[in-house]
Amino acid sequence: MNSINNLLVPILVTLILSLPGHAKVSSEPDMGIQAAKSPQQEPNCKSKKKCQDTTDPNDPQEPETPEPPVNEFLPAGSSYQMQLQGALNTEYVADAYVFDLFDVSQETITQIKSTGAKAICYFSAGTYEQWRTDAVDFAPEAIGEPLGDWPGENWLDTTHESVKTVMKNRIQLAKDKGCDAVDPDNVDSHTQQSGFNISYAQQLEYNKYLSTTAHDNQLFIGLKNNLSQLADLHSHYDFAINESCIRWNECDMLKPFVDANKAVFHVEYLGVSGAGSSEFDNMCSIANNVGMYSLVLPHLLDDAYRFSCP
């Protein structure tokens, strides 16, 4: 009889446990419902990346905004020299030299950099200059109205693809020649009588294109004038170059650069008689208050004279 009982008991236990309503007993501790859920099962998980600390390596990655070169550019208050015509004078003690991209040799650029100064290569990003070697690369329909008192120079349609292609090639040339940074000029066509109806948004897109292209080439880039778009562009540019902000009472608009410890290179065209005058003293006072480095230079930027604030 005992042998029969020994056979029946295990069978009965097995039948009872298999009936509906009976859960399997586990020796594991109860970790709660939330611990059993994966991020994909979470009802409020709208985005996979928000729910996981790591990204699936097979997920497509969003394109990143190009970053400027690893090393920072010059801080606010740094000195500079700017000369765009004539044989470049490299005898000044300055933190940076601004000079024409086409007219200065790679050897001279190397010499400037050997002193510890930054080499900033200038080119016009908004005008056609008939004497440039790449002038033939602009589409005829992209060439607009003459530029004021500058013979042989015309405004460009900066929305035209041929213009963007030329500027991309110029930035590449700057990289190839060893420039540290570029200074694209005439980037305010939307405020000019250019012959084209360029909107604020179109100009902004073009100026961001210049910044992105420079950073893609590991070059720094400066915002030349164009204070009307500074609020939208200062975070995309590494320094600023300004002409005549004191004359137009606009220097305070450059403070976002200084506040971010980015160099601001400023020039006023006062003439030789302005040096040492009350006008010159006022210029230096304003420059010091803003935190920018100011020079008095000739309008032709030919190194005929140079006066800096004490």
CATH of the domain at 297: 3.20.20.70
Q: Is residue 128 part of a domain?
A: yes
Query: Could you tell me the pLDDT band of residue 260, with boundaries at 50, 70 and 90?
Result: very high
22 lies in some domain = no
Could you report the per-residue pLDDT of 207-220, keeping only the tens digit for each? 999 999 999 999 99
264-298 tens-digit pLDDT: 999 999 999 888 899 999 999 999 999 999 999 99
70 pLDDT more than 70:
no
Q: What is the DSSP string of 222-252?
A: EEES-GGGHHHHTTT-SEEEEESTTTTT-GG
Average pLDDT over residues 17-26: 40
The answer to whether residue 289 sits within a structural domain is yes
Model confidence at 72, in pLDDT bands (50, 70, 90)?
confident
Look at residue 274 in the predicted model and tell me its pLDDT: 87
Dihedral sign for Cα atoms in the order 141, 183, 291, 83: negative
- The reply to whether 95 falls in a domain is yes
User: Could you count the other beta carbons within 10 Å of the beta carbon of residue 284?
Assistant: 17
Given a cut of 70, whether residue 14 has pLDDT beyond it is: no
Measured in whole angstroms, how far is the alpha carbon of residue 32 from the centre of its chain? 50
Contact, 180 vs 118, CB < 8 A? yes
**20: in domain:** no
CA 8/CA 309 separation, integer angstroms: 107
**Is the confidence at residue 10, as pLDDT, over 70?**
no
Q: Tell me if 13 is assigned to some domain.
A: no
Residue 70 domain-assigned (yes or no):
no
More confident residue, 30 or 111: 111
By three-state DSSP, how is residue 122 classified?
strand
Give the structural domain span for 91: 81-308
Cα separation of 98 and 271, whole Å?
20
Instruction: Decide if 179 contacts 119 (C-beta within 8 A).
Output: yes
Q: How many domains does the chain have?
A: 1
Residue 67: its pLDDT value, please? 65
Single out the residue of 304, 306, 301 nearest to residue 103, CA to CA: 301
- The yes-or-no verdict on residue 250 having pLDDT over 90 is yes
Q: Is residue 122 part of a domain?
A: yes
Answer yes or no: is pLDDT of 252 > 70: yes
